[in-house]
Structure 1
Amino acid sequence: MSTITAFPAQAGEVSAITGEGEKKGRLYSLDALRGFDMFWIMGGGSIFHEIAKATGSPFWGAIAEQLEHPDWNGFHFYDLIFPLFLFMAGVSTPYSVGRELEKGKSRTQLLLRVIKRGLILVLLGVIYNNGLQLHPVSEIRFCSVLGRIGLAYMFANIIYLYTKERAQMIWFVGIIVAYWLLLKFTAAPGFAPGDLTMQGNFASYLDRLIVPGKLYLGIHDPEGFASTFPAISTAMLGIITGNLLRNSPMLPVKKVGVMAVTGVIFLVLAQIWNLDFPINKNLWSSSFVLQVGGISLLLLALFYYVIDIAGYKKWAFFFRVIGMNSILIYISAHFIDWSYTNNAFFKWLGQLVGEPFGAVALAITLVFVKWLFLYFMYKKKVFLKV
């Protein structure tokens, strides 16, 4: 299903400053950005929530609010976590699948591998949602974060395998435009065309109609079938970016400029499109694709410049340790009682600090305990790969 592999953590890794190095190597900045992304899921967000509770400060409260999802329309920083991960999965495609093509692997071989990986992630998502228990089908939630990553990754990689770069760009644009038109001119029965409420939009209605088991919100699932299609565009944007980083003859600094300028343009277009098709993570709306795509491009441009071009790597080691085992730390929450472990080692510290900041201290140590586990895996050169 998935494998624990042991190999040199630095194998094949080189600075991305030289063109030949980029083609062969692993981007340190990509691992670091992936770790930065996962940091918020593995407990970084909880630290700020506890600080907000302890201080009662409007400032910390505003930050904590950014680490929650809006109920429906709108955008908070926390909405970026999932699509940023999917974007980075796309960026890695030219470095993995592309390299295998160059080594002589056939497209059929790689197609089977891509499909296998996608379906394994779907299965892991079902297990993550429901545990290793028997449930009636009606009580199983089949939609999941890992499932969406698996399906979007799979279809984006299939497009990558059988198309050139120009066609990949057309697919990126075509999917989000088609999705916008679909939701603009359709609706659930009894609602006016273009209704984008949770009850009335066509994507949620389609999920209620065809998705087996239960939906996360009863009438809607944020990882539903229909909204997976625009998520393919998020992965495609990552692939297009990976092509730029690995294959373009541009100087690395110019690549940073292209990513930064494109990111800003995407953010402007997202605000314009928001007027007609609101930014909405639940629907993975087309404006949301541009919003998160723009921010993802800006973040990757920053990390790539600072780490791979300027060479400032030491500060990013903390995040790289997380990023090298991102799937492992994500699924571990369902199989390891991290709170129990944290209390076993550090409850005394929370008691010593006292209220109201004892909970803040324990939130910090929880991240520390998880990071130490990942560091141990890193030092042993053991990584979970799907």
Structure 2
Amino acid sequence: MENTTSATQEPAVAQPAPIRRLLSLDALRGFDMFWIIGGEEIFHVLAKTTGWAWAIFMADQFTHVDWNGFRPYDCIFPLFLFLAGVSTPYSLGSRLAKGDDRAMLARKVITRGLILVVLGIIANNGLFTKAFSDMRFGSVLGRIGLAGMFAQLIYLYVGNERTRYGIFAGILLLYWALLMLVPVPGFGAGNLTMEGSLVGYVDRLLMPGHLYKVVHDPEGILSTLPAICTGLLGVFAGTILRRHGLTDNRKIQQLVLAGVSCVALGWVWNIVFPVNKNLWTSSFVLVAGGWSLLILSLFYWVIDVQNIRRWTFFFVVIGMNSILIYLAGRVIDFEHTANFLFGGLLHYFSEPIQAVGGVLAFLAVKWLFLYFLYKKKTFLRV
């Protein structure tokens, strides 16, 4: 953690500090992280305490699909990785334009990716608290670190945009072929169940420690391959937004067209290769990536084009320190602090208000912690 001297130098998640920041990017990252740090609990406690139909519906949307299928909550994680890709043309692109050494930038990218892998392992297991065989090595931060790292290396060393698109399509097709054609002992080829998929088999064969779902890890080894494409989709979006020869309206049109096309193609592909977050299937990459493109275009239009910005501050405070608040929840008992500050007051209200108030108090304590760091210009640089 370090103190910065200027708000314009605040870093992006897992990225070098870009020269020009998009407020929409920080706001959207904060909006995404808001649900990760507990925002979805508002709907869950409302559904549990009131039984309201709309609350039950929303609570259901803020849960993950068990296996095949897609809900909005399944987009939260890939959106985070997508946004790391969006900032790449601003950060690395500006440095390349200034003549920075490509190999030096690549070393920084690799170092950053490996640091995130280590932080992910620590977040899963704590420090020196578990035997090696009991540790879980796959992690959300590890997936962001590795997939983002490879997407950035492709950006650094593949200058031709068409070639990047070709790599993107090639990875998705290769992953499809691997899962459908490579036989798994005892299950054969093309088995997409948790136990019988090639993804789970590779995890059981090669990943040390224990797997999150015993026979399968959603942040395992082989499924990192298509996750690179999620990062690349962000790179493609960032390239469009940074392009000087396009008007803002034209940029938005291209993002929306790309988003709709990806969602449509992903659901067509779903017929033969199901949309599945746990396997991070190629169709899932397109559906989640398509929605990420559409959400980004909306935030960009509202914030950076229409200049409607006052509402963004709440989310920007979260977005500027998103990795920090993700890790802080492992070592700081925010719930205890919220109960200490607001618990006595909430006892005077009915059960639904107590439940929702408890969640809001928990989120408020987290936000105030981030606001304190924001005012001190203190941000976690990875």
What range is the shorter-chain TM-score in? over 0.9
Question: Is residue 2:71 matched to residue 1:73?
Answer: no
Question: Is residue 2:241 matched to residue 1:245?
Answer: yes
Secondary structure, aligned partner of 1:212: coil
Secondary structure, aligned partner of 2:380: strand
Q: Which moved more, 1:57-66 or 1:206-215?
A: 57-66
* Aligned 8 A contact 1:12 1:24 in 2: no
Q: 1:147-175 CA distances to partner (integer Å, 9 max, x unpaired)?
A: 01000011111111100222111111111
- Given candidates 197, 213, 217, the residue that maps to 2:213 is 217
> Which residues in structure 2 correspond to 1:128-277 (within 5 Å)?
128-164=123-159, 165-277=161-273
Deviation at 1:12, TM superposition (A): 8.9
* Aligned 8 A contact 2:10 2:379 in 1: no
Deviation at 1:11, TM superposition (A): 4.5
**What CA distance in whole angstroms lies between the structure 1 residues aligned with 2:7 and 2:333?**
27
Q: 1:215-266 CA distances to partner (integer Å, 9 max, x unpaired)?
A: 0010000000010100000001101111111125110111001101111111
| CA RMSD between the two structures | 1.4
- Given candidates 316, 333, 337, the residue that maps to 1:337 is 333
Q: Residue 96 of structure 2 corresponds to which residue in structure 1?
A: 101
* Aligned 8 A contact 2:263 2:290 in 1: yes
Deviation at 1:42, TM superposition (A): 1.3
**What CA distance in whole angstroms lies between the structure 2 residues aligned with 1:252 and 1:124?**
37
- Which residues of structure 1 form unaligned runs of 5+? 14-22
| One-letter amino acid of the counterpart of residue 95, structure 1 | Y
Q: Residue 18 of structure 1 corresponds to which residue in structure 2?
A: none
Q: 1:328-368 CA distances to partner (integer Å, 9 max, x unpaired)?
A: 11111101001011001010232122313311111011111
Secondary structure, aligned partner of 2:64: coil
Q: 1:14-42 CA distances to partner (integer Å, 9 max, x unpaired)?
A: xxxxxxxxx94100000000000000011
* Aligned 8 A contact 2:317 2:370 in 1: yes
Deviation at 1:311, TM superposition (A): 0.5
| One-letter amino acid of the counterpart of residue 65, structure 2 | P
> Which residues in structure 2 correspond to 1:31-110 (within 5 Å)?
31-110=26-105
| One-letter amino acid of the counterpart of residue 5, structure 1 | N
**What CA distance in whole angstroms lies between the structure 2 residues aligned with 1:266 and 1:64?**
26
* Aligned 8 A contact 1:349 1:358 in 2: no
Distance change (3 Å), C-alpha of 1:350 and 1:265: same
**What CA distance in whole angstroms lies between the structure 1 residues aligned with 2:132 and 2:106?**
30
Q: Which moved more, 1:117-126 or 1:184-193?
A: 184-193
- Given candidates 4, 8, 12, the residue that maps to 2:2 is 4
**What CA distance in whole angstroms lies between the structure 1 residues aligned with 2:57 and 2:128?**
39
Q: Residue 17 of structure 1 corresponds to which residue in structure 2?
A: none
Q: Residue 26 of structure 1 corresponds to which residue in structure 2?
A: 21
Secondary structure, aligned partner of 1:10: helix
Question: Is residue 2:279 matched to residue 1:283?
Answer: yes
TM-score of the two chains, using structure 2 as the length reference: 0.96
* Aligned 8 A contact 1:349 1:362 in 2: no
**What CA distance in whole angstroms lies between the structure 2 residues aligned with 1:361 and 1:84?**
28
TM-score of the two chains, using structure 1 as the length reference: 0.95
| One-letter amino acid of the counterpart of residue 128, structure 2 | Q
| One-letter amino acid of the counterpart of residue 327, structure 1 | I
**What CA distance in whole angstroms lies between the structure 2 residues aligned with 1:381 and 1:273?**
46
* Aligned 8 A contact 2:3 2:376 in 1: no
Deviation at 1:317, TM superposition (A): 1.1
- Which residues of structure 2 form unaligned runs of 5+? 12-17
Secondary structure, aligned partner of 1:334: helix
Q: Residue 296 of structure 2 corresponds to which residue in structure 1?
A: 300
| Structure 1 residue runs of 4 or more that deviate by more than 6 Å after TM superposition | none
Identity %: 53
Q: Residue 114 of structure 2 corresponds to which residue in structure 1?
A: 119
Q: What is the total number of aligned residue pairs between the two structures? A: 375
**What CA distance in whole angstroms lies between the structure 2 residues aligned with 1:5 and 1:274?**
47
**What CA distance in whole angstroms lies between the structure 1 residues aligned with 2:199 and 2:184?**
8
